[in-house]
Amino acid sequence: MTNYDDIIGLPHHVSETREPMTMEERAGQFAPFAALTGYEDEVAEAGRPTGGRLEPDEDRMSKIHGCLQFLTESAPARPYTVITYFQEDQLKEGGAYVIAEGEFKYIEEQSHSVILVDGTKIPIEDIYDIAAQGLIS
């Protein structure tokens, strides 16, 4: 055991050149340290599920083409449309099926996409299901 009798009565040292730290700054020195910054985010991203693309059968393809024909002919009336389509994942292989709803505007020939009034652009080859108000299936 060490005896501190020789220094126990000395005054606390105060720097003449530096401002004293606030309590928050002092506490920050003892905060947890993450040696691998971003590691937890990478693990979470790797565990995020993605799915594969489903291949529509002939009946489904016929329904899609028939509905697109109806939408093209009915474009001035802006029929309400619900489209289920495959959206590629931007970070890894696979993707997910999403549903877009809104008023049909037109089919853009150059990009081969359905355009809705709100600006949503859906590639026709990604469409898995489609329904339009006023269309009798």
124 occurs within a structural domain: yes
Task: For the chain, count helices (H), then strands (E).
Answer: 3, 5
Per the domain annotation, does 106 fall within a domain? yes
Residue 17 lies in a domain: no
Residues contacting 52, CB < 8 A, separation 6+: 94
Q: Which domain holds residue 103?
A: 58-132
Q: How far apart are CA 19 and CA 3, in angstroms?
A: 32
Q: What is the pLDDT along the chain (137 residues), one digit of tens a residue?
A: 578 888 888 898 889 999 988 998 888 888 776 677 778 877 877 777 778 888 889 999 999 999 999 999 999 999 999 999 999 988 888 888 999 999 999 999 999 999 999 999 999 999 999 999 877 65
**Alpha carbon 52 to chain centroid distance?**
17
- 123 closest CA partner among 132, 114, 135, 131: 114
Its pTM stands at 0.64
Query: Is 62 among the domain residues?
Result: yes
Residues 57, 130, 67: CA angle, nearest 5 degrees: 90
